[in-house]
Structure 1
Amino acid sequence: MKKFALIGLAGYIAPRHLKAIKDTGNELIAALDKFDSVGVMDSYFPNADFFVEIERFDRHLEKLKYERGQVLDFMSICTPNYLHDSHIRMALRRGADAICEKPLVLNPWNIDALQKMEKESGKKIWNVLQLRMHPSIIKLKEKVDNAPVDKIFDIDLTYLTSRGNWYYTSWKGDESKSGGIATNIGVHFYDMLSWVFGEVKANVVHVHTHDRAAGYLEFKRARVRWFLSINQNALPEEIKKSGQRTYRSIKIEGEELEFSGGFTDLHTKVYESILEGNGYGLEDARQAIEIVHEIRNSKPAGLKGEFHPFAKKDLEAHPFNR
């Protein structure tokens, strides 16, 4: 039984980590969050110690080590994006492997620095890249791997997930903390595309505002037009009429990839892989981080070249939302 600590317990994604720790037969000994609405712990680890101050959390872990001989094996990190780098470093200083949500870090050079610390500490940094565990994505990768080597796939990726006004008040609405919309809601898709289709050949940004982004990515094995938005006005009319607030579509050669289910236990699968020593590390995370960093720092080209159909439709429908 491995001993875990978790930072960011009050967040949206933390229950998936709690479930994964429990499902893999391990123990959560301590958790941290500056917010104390964490009753979810009762369903998983009611006896775990909880802290709202990082200093007391850190002191507690040290006391467990020196007074009770309890050595921390893993620290799970579910905190806001801009804190990942610091909390990963904290895990390694505590003598634990880090299991961190994506984006692992906000900038490519942060990976270089963490590699040095990983080597010095002898501990590992693992990234939660759960889409690589999704059955539909695994089948897609097998299809691409078995296709003729000169075959280039044409893909349209559309992800619209409506967010209310709270989003802009939270850290997610601050680009310096979240990395912006492409990082915050798109990084897992860019990682999936990297895993399936190989190295990036071109990265063009057509639209990039506070609530939507669109562009073109060319990989070794794919040409991808992508569109992301958190504005409900960007939803197709039929989706809005049905009362839904999210629309996700991945079309490959004009055919829809079935991608609606299969998400329930992906974090548990990620943890199982990490515990076996086969998880995804720093280099696995690099290309997606490079993609979102370039998107964030590129000047939008406008509707030129291979742009996503939604980008034009969105501009025509809402010309003043720019």
Structure 2
Amino acid sequence: MNFALIGAAGYIAPRHMQAIKDTGNDLVAAYDINDSVGIIDSISTNCSFFTEFEYFLEHAWRLKRQGERAIDHWVVCSPNHLHSAHITAGLHLDCDVICEKPLVSTPAQLDELRQVEQATGRRVYSIMQLRHHPAIHELRDKVLAEQRDGQYEVELTYITARGPWYLASWKGDSRKSFGVMSEIGIHFFDMLHVIFGELKRMELHHHDERKAAGFLEYEKARVRWFLSIDAEDLPARLRGHHSTFRSITCDGEEFEFSSGFTDLHTVSYREILAGRGFGIETVRHCLETVYALGQATPEAPRVDEAHPQLAAVLAAQDALAASQR
């Protein structure tokens, strides 16, 4: 099958390109406003490339008129605030669309995409690769097997160190990325729903451009969560050696899953092409969670609902405020 990709110069695009190649398909067209896309040659030397969207779209329509060269799948790896427009363009080109998370920024935009799906007869699939991670399967199976009446006590910690470039890029602009909870957290809110059931209550305890923390109560779990792009939040044993730390503890038992992410996009593609992709309604709940948290006002946590790392964050915040008086 023929694939076209939007956002070819971005951080995540090479994983999509490799997944296209690994599943035996062809990348035939790509677009990005930046031209640092030499990685394409390792995937295909016959991929047309454009730096202006209008020319890219015109090329896609031309291929559509040529029958066997028509694009089958339209891949969206562009900045988050452009997803809705780029997904819609792909659907109207009679393509199924594969999009990086988050699909869009609001539940209302999801409803609009659903209408376009129905009008075109095509589908939108979100990449939620964490659902394919072995450690997550292990924890889900544990919860299903135990069938306990009470709730689990869960701590979720995700720290992925990012340098100054991050805040200088579109990712650091909340109008484009929708903030750190959406950009790095939406996978984890999706995972929590899959493992622990429906969300019953939420609280936001802290939120700034580099980190966020809060509490979520699900059917089967009480979850204290912490997300950060600040290297200072990494465990001391990892600083200077690793830039990422992902951990879930469930009743004190740790399910550490910092590794095992390298080929999950390829797994995701195989599932999508086999008809088992994650569509709009499947991922609606996690987008609704992120949207609601984004609208919330941070509040002081109860002692048993605060993530352990929150105290240090709030102390640093108070110290900074005091120094600026």
Please state whether the residue corresponding to 1:314 is helix, strand or coil: helix
Contact 1:178 1:184 in 2 (8 A): yes
Q: Is the 8 A contact 1:197 1:219 kept in 2?
A: yes
Aligned to 1:279: 277
Q: What is the correspondence of 1:115-264 to structure 2 with a 5 Å cutoff?
A: 115-240=114-239, 242-264=240-262
Question: What is the Cα deviation at residue 247 of structure 1?
Answer: 2.4
Tell me the amino acid that sits aligned with residue 275 of structure 2.
G
In structure 2, do the counterparts of structure 1 residues 264 and 233 end up closer, same or farther at CA, with 3 Å as the change threshold? closer
Query: What value does the CA root-mean-square deviation take over the aligned residues?
Result: 1.5
Who is 1:292 aligned against? 290
Residue type at the aligned position of 2:289: I
Note the C-alpha offset of 1:283: 0.7
Unaligned 5+ segments in structure 1 are none
After TM superposition, the structure 1 = structure 2 runs for residues 296-307 of structure 1, keeping only pairs within 5 Å, are 296-305=294-303, 306-307=305-306
Identify the range of structure 1 (10-19 vs 298-307) with the bigger mean alpha-carbon deviation.
298-307
**Which letter maps to 2:80?**
N
Give % identity.
47
Instruction: Give the secondary-structure state (helix, strand or coil) at the position aligned to 1:131.
Output: helix
Distance 1:258 1:303 in 2: 25
Range that drifts further, 186-195 or 256-265: 256-265
1:92 aligns to what? 91
1:261 CA drift (Å): 2.3
Cα distance in 2, alignment partners of residues 45 and 69 from structure 1: 18
For 1:263 and 1:203, how far apart are their aligned partners in 2?
28
Alpha carbons 1:206, 1:304 under 8 Å: kept = no
Q: Structure 1 CA distance, aligned partners of 2:103 and 2:308?
A: 31
- Retained in 2: the 8 A contact 1:92–1:121? yes
- What per-residue deviation string (whole Å, max 9, x for no partner) do you get for residues 284-322 of structure 1? 111110111111110000243511010012223453457
Q: Say which SS state the counterpart of residue 237 (structure 1) adopts.
A: coil
Aligned residues: 320
Larger deviation, residues 14-23 vs 164-173:
164-173
Does the 8 A contact of 1:303 with 1:311 survive in 2? no
Using the TM superposition, name which of 227-236 and 152-161 deviates more: 227-236
- Tell me the amino acid that sits aligned with residue 266 of structure 2: T
Q: Which amino acid aligns with 1:286?
A: R
User: Shift in Å at residue 22 of structure 1?
Assistant: 0.7
Sort the Cα spacing of 1:222 and 1:321 in 2 relative to 1 into closer, same or farther, 3 A. farther
Contact 1:197–1:222 (CA<8 Å) still a contact in 2? Answer: yes
Structure 1 residue 34 corresponds to structure 2 residue 33: yes
Contact 1:4 1:30 in 2 (8 A): yes
- Please name the residue that 2:265 is paired with: 267
Task: Name the amino acid aligned to 2:297.
Answer: K
1:277 positional shift: 0.9
> What are the Cα deviations for residues 244-292 of structure 1, in whole angstroms up to 9, with x where unaligned?
3332221111111031322121111111111111111001111110111
Q: Which residue of 2 aligns with 1:63?
A: 62
Counterpart of 2:237 in 1: which secondary structure? helix
The equivalent of 2:45 in structure 1 is: 46
The Cα shift of 1:234 comes to 2.5
TM-score scaled by length of structure 1? 0.95
Instruction: Name the amino acid aligned to 2:200.
Output: K
Amino acid at match of 1:251: T
